[in-house]
Amino acid sequence: MISLNKPSLDKCDLCLFKQMVRQYVSEEDFQLLYHSTIQLRYKKGENILKQGSQFSHIIFLSKGIVKFNYENEFGKNFILTIVNSPKLIGGINVFNDATNMFSIVAIEESVACLIDINVLKNLALKNSLLTMKLIEYASSTFKDSILNFISLAHKQVNGRVAELIIYLSEKVYKEKDFAMSLTRKELAEFAGCSQENIIHTLKRFHKEGVINTDGKRIKILDFKRLLEISKVG
């Protein structure tokens, strides 16, 4: 965590989350929330939220890309999902005050607003509609992650890598031709296989003319074929 700025109201206007909250609460309550929010900047690789820590803030990712990382009892990492801004993250267990199920780590320079959970809870107590909207907002991100994870779980590496490329292209980088900020090791943690297997598979796709790889740059050449591979598994 590098800088700690009180966000200007200008910046907050760009924040979809605050826009949403604003619809349902009074200006007074909004100001309360605004003053209990801190905006932080994260460098690549920094933890925004640590697995096992106490849940204290709702996080709105206003800029950057993050990974949801789960570490098992043997120190092995799995990437549950990767999401792009702007998005409300880490908000699923808002009303379930437990510890965080996973870490959230910036994989590119990111900016996040940390909204105090207790202040938000107090607002929500006064306002059911807000509560519902919060849940709706938070659970959709969560649901996507899970579906993504389920989908990955029982496919062979070919299918998983194909799906992963499509996911990165469509949901994260929003380009058919993108330069990832993920290492091969991270790709492996995402696909749930060994690093070497990722490399072999990418190379195979490259040779077959499905994609073009050049270091961290991936270009999708034959989307239809890629989709087919991802489906057949």
Partner DNA sequence: CGCGAGCTTGACGTTGTTCAACTAGAGTGG
Partner DNA sequence: CCACTCTAGTTGAACAACGTCAAGCTCGCG
Residues in 54-113 at the binding interface with a second copy, rule: CB under 8 A = 70, 72-74, 76, 78, 80, 92-96, 98, 101
Q: How far apart are CA 181 and CA 187, in angstroms?
A: 10
Residue 51 contacts a second copy per CB under 8 A: no
Residues 205/211, Cβ–Cβ less than 8 Å? yes
Residue 224 contacts a second copy per CB under 8 A: no
Pick between residue 37 and residue 69 the one whose CB is nearest to a second copy. 69
Give me the numbers of helices (H) and strands (E) for the chain, helices first please. Answer: 9, 12
- Count the neighbouring beta carbons within 10 Å of the beta carbon of residue 226: 20
Q: Give the one entry of DNA, a second copy, none that residue 126 binds, where binding means its C-beta sits below a cut-off of 5 to 8 angstroms depending on kind.
A: a second copy
Pick between residue 86 and residue 192 the one whose CB is nearest to DNA. 192
The secondary structure element, H or E, covering residue 142 is helix 128-153
Q: Give the one entry of DNA, a second copy, none that residue 44 binds, where binding means its C-beta sits below a cut-off of 5 to 8 angstroms depending on kind.
A: none
What secondary structure, in 3-state letters, does 15-69 show?
CHHHHHHHHHCCHHHHHHHHHCEEEEEECCCCEEECCCCECCEEEEEEECEEEEE
- Count the neighbouring beta carbons within 10 Å of the beta carbon of residue 155: 19
Q: Give the one entry of a second copy, DNA, none that residue 135 binds, where binding means its C-beta sits below a cut-off of 5 to 8 angstroms depending on kind.
A: a second copy
Among 143, 176, 216, 217, binds a second copy (CB under 8 A): 143
Give the binding site for DNA (CB under 7 A). 156-158, 183-185, 192-197, 199-200, 202-203, 213, 215-216
Residue 117 contacts a second copy per CB under 8 A: no
147 CB-near residues (< 8 Å, 6+ apart): none
Q: Give the one entry of DNA, a second copy, none that residue 74 binds, where binding means its C-beta sits below a cut-off of 5 to 8 angstroms depending on kind.
A: a second copy
Residue 166 contacts a second copy per CB under 8 A: no
Contact map string, positions 169 to 198, toward a second copy, x by CB under 8 A: -----------------------x------
Q: Cα dihedral sign for 208, 209, 215, 219?
A: negative
